[in-house]
Amino acid sequence: MRNVPIDLVDGLDSAVLAIATDYPPGHVLPRHRHRRAQLLYGATGTMQVDTADGSWTIPPQRAVLIPPQTDHEVRMHGVSTRSLYLEPVAVPWFPVSCQVVAVSPLLRELLIAAVDLPVERPPHGRESALVTLLLHEIEAVSPLPFGLPMPADEALRARCEAFAASPGIGVAPHEWATGLGVSTRTFVRHFKTQTGLTFQQWRQRACLVHAIRLLTSGHSVTHTAAALGYSSPAAFTAMFVKNAGSTPDALRRGR
């Protein structure tokens, strides 16, 4: 199916519904939720998914898993998507929070093929076998650290959101502690409780996802490294490869 709202077909008797949709640059899907679990794959462009718990940045050729009944907003930047809407009973292993994942060449081809499958399929035919393989491939995907958890504490969340908009790798925890009027020890403990990450881990994650946005917008590796406060492009590239599993240049080329 192509460019069909999920609400029009959600009631169909099919464990997997595949829909291809093209979005103009800057398009925003306001906060909404689906009864089904969703795999949202961007063949081109970059997406950002925001929920009450955090923000997830999805580069080209990656996907995000969105659990059923999760309120979320999606920002599109020149995206052509392939979405799978999955009956919850068919994916009991689905994550309980959003997760950006790598997409293997096999899964990519299955996603492309699924869009043209008939909704009504013989139970033992080729189409049903393809859907079964598709579910196995989704269960086996590798997670990517492209999500940025946000705290529930309002004062800390405001600080986190401001930092995420313009992060820097050199910011120290004592600077935030002073700004929030608490000791560094109290701040460090509270931050880990609120986000599930240490301050240093969260700071690096914020730099990583911001780097993805800069690189996919056409900025050079040198510019991106300097904007994030890294001592050299080489230091930035080492961090990026370790966490993203690819080089910054490969990401810029949509790979």
How far apart (Å, rounded) are the C-alpha atoms in residues 9 and 83?
13
Q: Mind listing the pLDDT tens digit for each residue in 170-194? A: 999 999 999 999 999 999 999 999 9
Radius of gyration of the chain, Cα coordinates, nearest whole angstrom = 19
How far apart (Å, rounded) are the C-alpha atoms in residues 152 and 143?
24
DSSP-assigned states of every residue in 110-135 = HHHHHTTS-SS--TTSHHHHHHHHHH
Say what the pTM is: 0.92
Contact 161, 210 (CB under 8 A): no
Contact 64, 100 (CB under 8 A): yes
Kindly report the length of the chain: 255
State mean pLDDT over 57-76: 96
**What is the CB neighbour count within 10 angstroms for residue 10?**
14
State mean pLDDT over 135-148: 97
